[in-house]
């Protein structure tokens, strides 16, 4: 019987729907809690961050222009594909984090459930967060939530998958595109999630995933003029005050870091945080 060679997985970045290596050529080792080597991951540079923002800018029009129902169907498809690869994610998370298989399975199941939860809000949140405003005169006055644009995200750093999903999904619901810096300690599940996104009808550039050092990449996202909102949910371990100052220079909206066992828990507020309210006046017919 012939012995087959193992085919180790190569973990790259996810930019514009493609899987490039870092332009810098840098990688870093990912090891299990007891020190066993798992893989080399790409270490993104500021050039990679700029490329990711450019891809996200190019995808805004198509994603925000899709119907809310269509976005919901696409997000639900992500959950379907993630469910189909459940076993792979469980093994990957257990290897990276040292969690027991049962706890790794619970994290994967929670990540899938959150995709489904956010998918269901796509064609509903506008009715909840919008308003028909009372005005004096023969007019309709309507407030409607619209996407902010490109959202830069520092994902929670203490989980491999559920924190990443919790940070990405709400920004997508309203039609935003995302550039996310994954957990530095547990980056492998982020790139496996990118493979799910790439095969789930998500247009290229809608989600861009960078692996490496959040402390290195975050300042370039915070100061980039084409990043319209910055979610610092996982930035508690770096100088996030300086990031807020950089973001203020380009009038970028900032969500501060969150802490606790369930940072970025599912909520309607996380969806509306990435929207702008547009108010429209329309004359009432007098006939």
Domain span at residue 45 reads: 27-283
Specify the pLDDT at position 260.
60
Residue 252 domain flag: yes
Residue 19 domain flag: no
Contacts of 72 (CB under 8 A, 6+ apart): 119, 120, 121, 122, 123
Residue 8 domain flag: no
pLDDT at 259 over 70: no
Residue 117 domain flag: yes
Domain count, the chain: 1
pLDDT digits (tens, 9 = 90+) for 92-125: 999 999 999 999 999 999 999 999 999 999 999 9
Runs of H (alpha helix) within 85-185: 86-97, 101-121, 125-129, 162-173
pLDDT at 262 over 80: no
Residue 1 domain flag: no
**C-beta pairs of 128-136 under 8 Å, 24+ apart in sequence:** 128/268, 129/268, 129/271, 129/272, 129/275, 133/279, 135/281
Q: What is the CATH number of the domain that holds 223?
A: 3.40.605.10
Residue 10 domain flag: no
Residue 132 domain flag: yes
Q: Which residue from 70, 45, 50 is spatially nearest to 203, judged by alpha carbons? A: 70
Average pLDDT over residues 196-225: 96
102 vs 264, residue with greater confidence: 102
Rounded CA separation 50/27 (Å): 18
Residue 3 domain flag: no
Average pLDDT over residues 13-34: 96
Percentage with pLDDT > 70 across the chain: 97
pLDDT band for position 75 (cuts 50, 70, 90) = very high
Contacts of 241 (CB under 8 A, 6+ apart): none
Contacts of 226 (CB under 8 A, 6+ apart): 53, 54, 56, 57, 149, 150
pLDDT at 30 over 80: yes
Rounded mean pLDDT of the chain? Answer: 92
Average pLDDT over residues 236-247: 89
Specify the pLDDT at position 176.
98
pLDDT digits (tens, 9 = 90+) for 218-233: 999 999 999 999 999 9
H/E segment holding residue 207 = strand 207-210
């Amino acid at each position: 019987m012939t012995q087959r060679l193992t085919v180790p997985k190569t973990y790259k970045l996810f930019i514009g729907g493609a899987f490039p290596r870092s332009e810098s050529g840098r990688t870093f080792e990912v090891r299990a809690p007891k020190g066993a080597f798992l893989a080399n991951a790409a270490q993104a540079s500021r050039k990679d961050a700029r490329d990711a923002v450019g891809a996200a800018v190019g995808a805004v029009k198509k994603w925000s222009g899709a119907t809310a129902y269509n976005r919901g169907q696409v997000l639900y498809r992500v959950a379907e594909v993630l469910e189909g690869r459940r076993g792979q994610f469980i093994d990957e998370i257990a290897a990276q984090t040292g969690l027991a298989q049962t706890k790794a399975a619970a994290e994967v199941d929670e990540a899938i459930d959150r995709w489904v939860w956010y998918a269901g809000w796509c064609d509903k949140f506008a009715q909840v967060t919008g308003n028909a405003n009372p005005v004096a005169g023969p007019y309709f006055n309507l407030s409607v939530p619209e996407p902010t644009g490109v959202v830069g995200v520092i994902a929670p750093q203490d989980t491999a998958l559920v924190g990443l999903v919790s940070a990405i999904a709400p920004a997508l619901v309203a039609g935003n595109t995302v550039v996310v810096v994954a957990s530095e300690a547990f980056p492998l599940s982020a790139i496996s999630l990118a493979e799910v996104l790439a095969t789930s009808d998500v247009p290229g550039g809608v989600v861009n995933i960078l692996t490496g050092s959040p402390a290195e990449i975050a300042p370039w996202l915070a100061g980039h003029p084409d990043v319209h909102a910055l979610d610092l949910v996982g930035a508690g371990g770096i100088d996030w005050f300086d990031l807020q100052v950089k973001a203020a220079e380009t009038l970028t909206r900032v969500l501060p870091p969150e802490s606790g066992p369930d940072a970025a828990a599912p909520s309607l507020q996380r969806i509306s945080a990435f929207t702008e309210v547009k108010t429209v006046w329309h004359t009432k017919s007098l006939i």
